[in-house]
Amino acid sequence: MVQELLYWQALNRALDQEMAANDAVLVLGEDVGLYGGTYRVTEGLYAKYGEWRVRDTPISENSYTGLGIGAAMAGGRPVVEIMTVNFLPLAMDAVVNLAAKIMLMSARQFRIPIVIRMPGGIAKQLGAQHSQRLETMLMNVPGLRIAVPATPQDAYWQLRQAINLDDPVIVLEHEVLYFTRGPVDDALEPPPLDAAVIRRKGADVTLIAYSRMVLLAIEAADTLQAEGINAEVIDLRSLKPIDWETCTASIQNTHRAVIIEEDCRFAGAGAEIAATLTEACFFYLDSPIERIAGLDLPTPFNAELEASAIPTTAQIVETVHRVTSTVVPA
């Protein structure tokens, strides 16, 4: 059935369906029970599944993430909510040293089917300590998977796939995306959890983005199309692993690529993507792979400064103009 849903409603539906289908699925986190989750993702689940399966925890990220890992080792399929990615550093020991390591260090005696989900990104004037992305901290940890859904449909699909996987999966949501709307079809066959998808076909330049930046890339592609430049937009959907095949196939056709990330440019996800794609596509490139990224500074609180600290659609258009300087518009 196709239904127009908000992003948070899509996540809520995924949780509800998985909890109904499998008694082993449980939810842990701050304010996920009685309150229904800071961004309403767990709304209604406490009433439906009870306090045994929807557990409010104290403010103790490392402890309840560790608790989730223990539950996973004991046969549960926990979904841990960390209120925002900004509190992830507190849980890093559990994530890095336990969730990511136990399967191999126990010689596969234990699988860790845990989902750790959290919102990140710059919302609106929440201050430097509440406006981080931090995905690169996790990308560098072997043993994790990272999903970055940009649409309600992907949020629904990828959360369900993550719950059903026997390995730890981080689902990075975006605070601004929670109230975006889109069709969610629960009858449709999903692409694999870590497959990238082409949101728009084009032959002149490849735009590679994830999470909220996908929306900006599509907007920029609209503007460019009016000028006769056809940009291909790739939504990565997963930052670990990355679907390189989709990216290289596109670049072999366009010979140009621009990567758009909201996180800081220095040592960001874009750096990894650009380096790997340059290695893979060097002899197909007509222009250096460029990155458009957030500035390398704590996010300013001032609204105007905050907005200019992260990529804009105009910046994408400008960069594409430079990169495609010899493309004669059709």
Partner 1 sequence: MKEPLPMPILSDTMAIGRILRWHKQAGDSVKANEVVAEVETDKAIMDVEATRAGFLAGPLAPTDTDIAVRTPIAFISDTRDEAVDEVPIAAAPQQEAPQSKARPTSEMPAEISRTGSKKVDVSGPKPERAAAPPAPHTGGRYSPYARALAADLGLNLEQVPAGVDGTVRSIEVVAAALGPLPADLTAGPPYAICPQPLMREAVARNMTAAWRTPVFHMQARLTLGPLRQLHEATGYAFTVLLARACARAIADHPLFNATYTRSGLAQRDRVDIGIALDLGESLIAPVLRDVGGRPLPALTTDWQRLEAQAKRHRLSLSEYTGATFYLSNLGSSRVVEGFDAILPLGATAILAAAAPATDERALFNLTCDHRVVFGADAARWFASFELHLSQPESWAQDAIGDVPAPPQTTSSAPHE
| Minimum distance of partner 1 from residue 190's CB (angstroms) | 35
# residues contacting partner 1 (CB under 8 A): 25
Tell me the chain's radius of gyration from C-alpha atoms: 20
| Minimum distance of partner 1 from residue 327's CB (angstroms) | 8
Single residue of 12, 18, 255, 269 touching partner 1 by CB under 8 A: 255
Amino acid at 158: Q
Q: How does DSSP assign 263-278, residue by residue?
A: EESTT-HHHHHHHHHH
| Minimum distance of partner 1 from residue 324's CB (angstroms) | 10
CA distances from 25 to 72, 76, 183, 316 (A): 10, 6, 25, 41
Choose the catalytic residue: 61, 81, 135, 175.
61
Q: Which residue, 60 or 302, has its beta carbon nearer to partner 1?
A: 302
Residue 283 binds partner 1, judged by CB under 8 A: yes
Q: Which DSSP symbol is given to 174?
A: E
Single residue of 195, 219, 285, 313 touching partner 1 by CB under 8 A: 285
Single residue of 282, 292, 299, 316 touching partner 1 by CB under 8 A: 282
Binding string, residues 291-330; x marks residues near partner 1 by CB under 8 A:
----xxx------xx--xx--------xx-xx--xxxxx-
The CA distance from 135 to 130, in Å, is 14
| Minimum distance of partner 1 from residue 288's CB (angstroms) | 9
Residue 287 binds partner 1, judged by CB under 8 A: yes
SS3 state at 208: strand
54-56 vs 205-209, strand pairing mode: unpaired
Q: Which residue, 13 or 133, has its beta carbon nearer to partner 1?
A: 133
Q: Can 130 be counted among the known catalytic residues?
A: yes
Work out the number of other CB atoms within 10 angstroms of the CB of residue 48.
11
Q: What six digits make up the tokens of 223?
A: 């503007």
Residue 267 binds partner 1, judged by CB under 8 A: no
CA 252 to chain centre: 26
Q: Which residue, 63 or 252, has its beta carbon nearer to partner 1?
A: 252
Residue 20 binds partner 1, judged by CB under 8 A: no
Choose the catalytic residue: 130, 219, 290, 321.
130
Q: How does DSSP assign 82-130, residue by residue?
A: PS-GGGHHHHHIIIIIIITTHHHHTTTS-----EEEEEES--SS--GGG
Residue 226 binds partner 1, judged by CB under 8 A: no
The CA distance from 99 to 103, in Å, is 8
List the catalytic residues.
Answer: 61, 130
Binding site for partner 1 (CB under 8 A): 227, 255, 266, 282-287, 295-297, 304-305, 308-309, 318-319, 321-322, 325-329
